[in-house]
Structure 1
C-alpha cells in the first residue's frame, strides 16, 4: 500500500522524528560530547517500549471508557424515543388492565425526591409482583391497532446497531414484535376461543413485565442525567392517577 503523506498520522510522525533529530543535533553542536549523546539516545530507545506499553494501556482504557459512555448515551436516546412514541402509551394500556395495579401504584409513583435506594426498593417490589392482565377481545383489538400503527417505528429501532449492547431492551422489543405479529394474524378477535385469549394474555403479560422494568430504569437515568426530561416523565407517569403534563 503506497504511503499517503496527506494523512495526519504520517505528517505527525514526520514532524516528531524531525523534532527529535533537531534536538539531538542542537545538543551535539552546543554541548559537544558525542559519546554522551549516543548513550542518551540508546537509553531513551531502551525505555521506549515501556513508554509505548504504558501509554497504550492508559490511552486504550481511556478511549474505551469514553466510547462506552458515548454508546450508552446514544442507547438511552433511543430508549427515550421508544417511550415517547410507543412505550408510555403501551404501559398505560396494559397496566390499566392489571388486577393488582392498586398495590403497584404505591411503589411506582416516582417523584423528584426519589433516591437510588428508593429505585432499588421499587425494583425489588417489581420482582415480587406478577404482572398479570385481564384482557378481553375488544382490548386485544385496540392493542393490535395501537401496535400496528407504530410497526414502522419499531422496525427502525431494530435497525439501530446500538441496541445490541442492551440485552434487556432488545428482549423487550422482541416481545413487542412477537405480540404485534400474534395480534395481526388473528383478524377477528370476537370469535376467539378462551384458550387463545389466555395465550394472547400471556404474550401481553410478557411485554408488561419487561416494559415496566425498562421504564423504571429509564426514569432513574433521567433523574440522574436530565432533570428537565425527568420532570415531564413524572408528570406523565402511567402509574399516577393524578398525573398531568400541566405544571401546577
Structure 2
C-alpha cells in the first residue's frame, strides 16, 4: 500500500513539474520565440516548404505533428547573410535579443528546465547568438567569413527553436485547445494568420 501511494505521489509531482515546464516554454514563445521564428524564417532557404507544411488547425493529430517533425529532422536549415535585407535581419535580431537578455537569463536559471535538456540547449543557442551579435559593433561591415560564422550561429538557434515550437504546439493541441487556437492564429509560418477570429 505504501509503495502504491508513493508511486501515485511521484506521478503527481512529475506531472506538476512538467506542467510548470510547459508554462516556462509558453513564456519563451510569447516573449521571444514566435517573433524570432517569424523574422528569421524570411531568410531561411527552406521556408517555402516549411510554411506549406505548417498551416495548422484544430484537426491536427499526434500523427500530423510526428510527420512534420520527422520531415524537419531530415532538413538542413541554412541562411545566407551579408547583403541587403539579411543585414537588416542581423541588426533587428541584435536589438531584439539584447532587449530580452534578462528574460532569457531568468529562463536559464529556472530549475524546472532540468527536466527538459533540449529546451535548455535551445536557450543556450539563442543566448549565444545574442552574444555573438552584441560583440560586433557594426554588423554592416563584416568580412564574408564572419557572416558565414553568424549564419552558422543563426542556423543552430533557428533549428532548435522551430523544433521546440512544434513540440509546444503539439502539447497545446492535446491539452489546451483555447491556447492552441491563439497560437495557430499567431503562426509565424502562415502569412495569412490573423489574431482576430474570422468566420
**Normalised TM-score (structure 2):** 0.95
Q: Is contact 1:137-1:197 (8 Å) kept?
A: no
Q: Which has the higher contact order (CA 8 A, sep 6+)?
A: 2
Partner of 1:59: 5
Q: Does 1:154 align with 2:104?
A: yes
Q: Spell out structure 1 runs of 4+ moving beyond 4 A.
A: none
Distance across 1 between alignment mates of 2:77 and 2:191: 18
Q: Is contact 2:40-2:89 (8 Å) kept?
A: no
Q: Does 1:245 align with 2:195?
A: yes
User: Offset of 1:66 from its aligned partner?
Assistant: 0.4
User: Offset of 1:224 from its aligned partner?
Assistant: 0.7
Partner of 2:154: 204
Select 1:218's aligned residue among 168, 172, 177. Answer: 168
Pairwise CA RMSD of aligned residues? Answer: 0.9
Q: Which moved more, 1:104-113 or 1:65-74?
A: 104-113
Q: Does 1:81 align with 2:31?
A: no
| Matched residue SS, 2:53 | helix
| Matched residue SS, 1:105 | helix
Unaligned runs of 5+ in 2: none
| Matched residue SS, 1:173 | helix
Distance across 2 between alignment mates of 1:173 and 1:62: 32
Q: Is contact 2:79-2:155 (8 Å) kept?
A: yes
Distance across 1 between alignment mates of 2:188 and 2:77: 15
**Normalised TM-score (structure 1):** 0.76
Unaligned runs of 5+ in 1: 1-54
User: Offset of 1:111 from its aligned partner?
Assistant: 1.1
Q: Is contact 1:99-1:133 (8 Å) kept?
A: yes
Q: Is contact 1:86-1:150 (8 Å) kept?
A: yes
Report the structure number with the largest CA radius of gyration. Answer: 1
The superposition leaves residues 80-102 of structure 1 with CA deviations (integer Å, 9 ceiling, x where unpaired) of: 01000000000111111112211
Q: Within 5 Å, give how 1:162-173 maps onto structure 2.
A: 162-173=112-123
Partner of 1:24: none
Partner of 1:177: 127
